[in-house]
Amino acid sequence: MNLDLVIRNGILDTSGEPVEVGIADGHIVAIEPEGLPDGAQVLDAGGGMISPAFIESHFHLENALIWDGAINRSGTLREAIELYAEVKKRLTVDDIVERAGRAIREAVAHGTLWLRSHVDIDHIAKLSILEGVAAAREANRDIIDVQLVAFPQLGLTRNPEAVDMMWAAMEKGCDLVGGMPHGERDMDDAARHIEIAFEIAKAYDADVDMHIDETDDPYWHSLELLAEKTIEMGWQGRVTASHCCAMSAWDDALAERVIDKVREAGISVVTNAPINLMLEGRELPHPKPRGIARVKELIEAGVNVACGQDDLQNMFYSYGKMDPLEVAVITAHAAHLSAPHEIQAAFDMPRYNAARLWPLPDYGLKVGAEANLIVLDARSAVEALRRQPDRRYVIRKGRVLTETRTDVRWYRPA
């Protein structure tokens, strides 16, 4: 057996059993408890977990790391969108490529090899932001796969000019059709927004990923409209609903009805807990709603749930480090996920669950799959989330991209 790369002394991410992985021509060709011959390169996993790499399901590359002069004083989503509408007028391609590149390198070093980015398409930016993000995708295609979602953040019925821009954005290389129906005037216009998006999706045979009900206002339940439209169009399994915050403020009867339809429509839900915890509930009196999707109920109903970073140090969110384990552990806090099976569910969100919505049918640690792996300095899901430890190695298509060693030195008193 001629191996390019062998990883020894690891454990399987699924069962915790000892494992060695052999890689040739960019693919996994052997998975054995022990005894693989040496390859051209040999890595020591140090007893850590070998896992398929992470997937970032919801991000915005173009406004990552915009910080100086863009301070959101109210801390609300509304002010963030207003601030960004001004800032976006002066974004250049070079600037987007530089900041997006920094965000991508942080993501890759944390083991993320796929990233879905929503790109603002509207009457202000027209297609200029898409140009920048597409250039960033091109500049980084040797280290990460990027999907682009055409995202009409300022509305379609509110800003009819954006409809033409959305068609043009798909023509110019966006992969998915996005949306933000709760940004329209009322639920009737939200329905029209969803209808327009599906017209475009049908014409391009594209999947759909919308920002849904990112608000505390229980009036908004466009998730229900999205589920109904998905079924009507036969788009089951091809639609993602991101955010879904308002369901935190719905009564239980409405939540049960809509979650039922979401399951029937095969919609995946991406929760962006860090951002939602920060932006929602700002102007409400106590007791405040939690402001995030009902993750526990969705999981219990059999809905596929993933999580996303959404924003990185900008007017929407001051923090972030492009680490899916940080996002997953914040999600676990926000959604009360503490039992062992719930911890496993949180750990799977940026991995197996996200692979279903991308979709990546070949995802996983299995013979024949492309070798897109991480060696994680953890021995269990709970340890991975608790410590968010080093990604000792990040391997893409059989090639080591990064190696990370945090070096703690003790100087104990004698």
The region of 119-127, 227-235, 309-317, 358-366 touching Zn ion under the rule CB under 5 A is 309-317
Strand partners, 122: 126
Q: Which helix (H) or strand (E) holds 32?
A: strand 27-32
**Minimum CB distance to Zn ion smaller for 13 or for 310:** 310
**Minimum CB distance to Zn ion smaller for 122 or for 310:** 310
286 touches 323 (CB < 8 A): no
Q: Which of 56, 23, 58 is nearest to 372 (CA)?
A: 23
Task: Write down the least CB distance from residue 242 to Zn ion, Å.
Answer: 6
Q: Please say if 214 is a catalytic residue.
A: yes
Q: Which of 193, 245, 243, 194 is nearest to 219 (CA)?
A: 245
Measured CA to CA in angstroms, residue 253 lies from 173, 181, 262 at distances of 41, 22, 14
Q: Which helix (H) or strand (E) holds 118?
A: strand 112-120
Measured CA to CA in angstroms, residue 246 lies from 36, 71, 131, 280, 335 at distances of 52, 25, 33, 9, 14
Q: Which residue is nearest to Zn ion (CB)?
A: 310
DSSP H helix total and E strand total for the chain: 13, 16
Task: Write down the least CB distance from residue 118 to Zn ion, Å.
Answer: 5
Task: Write down the least CB distance from residue 60 to Zn ion, Å.
Answer: 6
**Minimum CB distance to Zn ion smaller for 120 or for 310:** 310
Distance CA 376, CA 391 (A): 5
Residue in 62, 214, 280, 370 annotated catalytic: 214
Task: Write down the least CB distance from residue 241 to Zn ion, Å.
Answer: 12
35 touches 372 (CB < 8 A): no
Task: Write down the least CB distance from residue 75 to Zn ion, Å.
Answer: 16
- Select from 56, 122, 310, 377 the one that contacts Zn ion (CB under 5 A): 310
**Minimum CB distance to Zn ion smaller for 51 or for 353:** 353
Task: Write down the least CB distance from residue 368 to Zn ion, Å.
Answer: 34
**Minimum CB distance to Zn ion smaller for 28 or for 241:** 241
214 belongs to the binding site for Zn ion (CB under 5 A):
no
Q: Name residues whose C-beta falls within 8 Å of residue 299's C-beta, 6 or more positions apart in sequence.
A: 305, 342, 345
Q: Name residues whose C-beta falls within 8 Å of residue 271's C-beta, 6 or more positions apart in sequence.
A: 243, 244, 292, 293, 295, 305, 306, 307, 308, 331, 334, 335
**Minimum CB distance to Zn ion smaller for 56 or for 390:** 56
Count of residues interacting with Zn ion (CB under 5 A): 1
Positions in 73-132 near Zn ion (CB under 5 A): none
Q: Kindly list the residues in this chain that would bind Zn ion in the complex (CB under 5 A).
A: 310
Catalytic residues: 214
